[in-house]
Amino acid sequence: MTESLIIIILSIFLVLPIILKILGRKNLPLSISVSYLLGLSIWTYLLFILNTKGITFSLKNVLVVYSFLLALFFFAVRFFKSKSYNSVRRVGNNKNYKNVFMDNKILLIVISLLLIFTFIANLYWPVKDWDSLVLYDFRAKLFAEHGGMKEAIEQGYFTSYPLMTSLSHMLVYLFNVSASPMLLYEGFYLSILIIFYYSLKILRTSTRVTLFFTLALMGYGIIFEQSTVSYTNLPYTAYLFTGYIFLLLWLKNGKVTSIFLSALFTGLSGWVRFAEPFWIVIVIVASLLFWLKKKRFYISVYILSVYLLRLPWSLFVESVSGPVPYAAKSISKTLPFLTQGARLENIKNVLSYLYVNVILEYGIVILFYVVLFYFVFMNLKKRLDLTFISDLLVVSGIIGTICLGTFLFSILVESWFQIGDSLRRMSMIIVPFAIFASARLFDHVYKER
């Protein structure tokens, strides 16, 4: 536990000064959450790149790399000027805190209970789940033992997922080989919740609605479950969602630092899971927003940043096991097969597969969003601003990607129907996006009363 805490604290402090300058001291919990995600991924990514250049994974080396990064960011922060974000409206004095508590006591009690549950579970249980034993944690143990990636590569199945979570586990094991890295996942869980809460508050959503929908996110079965499992789905969701949030905040505040953070998080999501094409949805929506806002220069900068962040891992995979299945490449290769796959029977099979693994699990949250959208914009005739269009595009883009991706997968892979559980977990990306969009719509209804 102590070792995981050390890694969490070190990751936070790596970029906290610079994030505080961007987000403002009044948004401290948000800054800490963003810093944790960013610090951990930057640190592990640099360790990976340096390892390909011959720097071994050892406690001394990872601390030297950390000190180098710390010095670099410390130096950078002195030259960095940025006006901070809107802060969450301060509650003020103790009496008001008490009022917020009394008004929302059931919500706060359930939120606290869930946090206590996940914290205790992560404290108690070691790494135990299938994929983690087969790949993520196994790689971490080999990295810590051998100081490099060669042994892990020889064991096979290495390049299927990037190394972010494995290298994070390794950092813990370098301090103590018998320590448990599970607390890192509590960090991912808390981070996504705090980012969710604060972004809604920065967008001026009322406290009760924000709390209710934060509870809906943290209590969403699969999100809750994944917070106690050392898989890559929750971290990936946290990175991609944060990438989108900063894009949305840019729409509100117009700060270039928001675009920078958005591109950084969207690109770094590829350091957690590479093959899923959901990042393309964010890139397309970002490009569309830049185009509509007449900031066309940002389009190329954004795309280039995301591309450059994804490049090292894809080059490495190519060097180890041949060409990487880029989403764009597979689509262009697959298009000719589409007509072949568009047989009625195949479409029927894919639809029933999607129904069992996606609709039954996530249909309710999607339907909730659709009904609210209809109600707010058709019945209440609210003005549809760009942020709501952006939410709609992202949610529909993700749903479209899941459907199209499953369809392509059914054509390309013979055993496609055997990994329904994997599809179910992969599709959990829809949850924070749909709940976030619903919360903002519901706030309109709430303020209408």
Partner 1 sequence: MRAIKPEKLYFLVFTALILLPPITEIFTYHGFIKKHLFIDAGYIVTFGLFLLIIVYKKYIGVFDKGYYFYAGSFITLAIFLISAVLEEYNYPNYVFTKFHINYKNAPLLVAALFTGGFVNSAVKYLSKIVKKNPSIFLIISFLSAVFIFKQAKYISVSVMRIFPLIIAKPGLSYSEKLYYFWDNPVKYLDYVSILTNENASIYLPTSTSAQEITGNIGLVRYFLYPRKLNLYDPEKSVDGYVIASPGNELGDGNFNNWPDFDIECEFFYLIDLKNQSVNFVKSEFSSGLISGDTWALIKI
Task: Give the residues lining the site for partner 1 (CB under 8 A).
Answer: 106, 114, 117, 120-121, 124-126, 128, 130, 133-135, 137-138, 142, 155, 157, 178, 216, 219-222, 224-225, 228, 364-365, 367-368, 371-372, 374-375, 379-380, 445-446, 448-449
**125 backbone φψ class: left, alpha, beta (φ>0; ψ -120 to 50):** beta
In angstroms, the CA 356 to CA 107 distance is 31
Could you tell me the smallest distance in angstroms from the CB atom of residue 437 to partner 1?
15
Six-digit token string for 395: 């949610």
In angstroms, the CA 275 to CA 273 distance is 6
Could you tell me the smallest distance in angstroms from the CB atom of residue 73 to partner 1?
36
DSSP 8-state class, residue 134 = I
> Is the separation of the CB atoms in 57 and 170 below 8 Å?
yes
The one-letter amino acid code at 82 reads: S
> Is the separation of the CB atoms in 222 and 192 below 8 Å?
no
Could you tell me the smallest distance in angstroms from the CB atom of residue 219 to partner 1?
5
Could you tell me the smallest distance in angstroms from the CB atom of residue 446 to partner 1?
6
> Is the separation of the CB atoms in 23 and 85 below 8 Å?
yes
- Secondary structure class of 383 (helix, strand, coil): coil
Could you tell me the smallest distance in angstroms from the CB atom of residue 275 to partner 1?
18
Q: Which is nearer to partner 1, 45 or 231 (CB)?
A: 231
Q: Which is nearer to partner 1, 182 or 249 (CB)?
A: 182
Of residues 119, 113, 361, the one with CA closest to residue 227: 119
**How many H-runs (helices) and E-runs (strands) does the chain carry?**
22, 0
Six-digit token string for 403: 């459907």
Count of C-beta atoms within a 10 Å radius of residue 106: 9
Of residues 434, 371, 385, 448, the one with CA closest to residue 203: 385
Could you tell me the smallest distance in angstroms from the CB atom of residue 386 to partner 1?
25
Q: Which is nearer to partner 1, 50 or 275 (CB)?
A: 275
Q: Which is nearer to partner 1, 221 or 400 (CB)?
A: 221
Could you tell me the smallest distance in angstroms from the CB atom of residue 225 to partner 1?
5
Tokens 């143990």, located at residue: 141
In angstroms, the CA 370 to CA 392 distance is 9
Q: Which is nearer to partner 1, 239 or 362 (CB)?
A: 362
In angstroms, the CA 76 to CA 219 distance is 39
Q: Which is nearer to partner 1, 379 or 415 (CB)?
A: 379
Could you tell me the smallest distance in angstroms from the CB atom of residue 117 to partner 1?
6
> Is the separation of the CB atoms in 286 and 280 below 8 Å?
no
In angstroms, the CA 417 to CA 401 distance is 17
Q: Which is nearer to partner 1, 229 or 247 (CB)?
A: 229
> Is the separation of the CB atoms in 103 and 208 below 8 Å?
yes
Count of C-beta atoms within a 10 Å radius of residue 157: 12
Could you tell me the smallest distance in angstroms from the CB atom of residue 140 to partner 1?
11
Q: Which is nearer to partner 1, 92 or 363 (CB)?
A: 363
Could you tell me the smallest distance in angstroms from the CB atom of residue 367 to partner 1?
6
Q: Which is nearer to partner 1, 328 or 378 (CB)?
A: 378
> Is the separation of the CB atoms in 169 and 140 below 8 Å?
yes
Could you tell me the smallest distance in angstroms from the CB atom of residue 165 to partner 1?
15
In angstroms, the CA 398 to CA 402 distance is 6
Count of C-beta atoms within a 10 Å radius of residue 300: 11
Q: Which is nearer to partner 1, 11 or 214 (CB)?
A: 214
Q: Which is nearer to partner 1, 30 or 428 (CB)?
A: 428
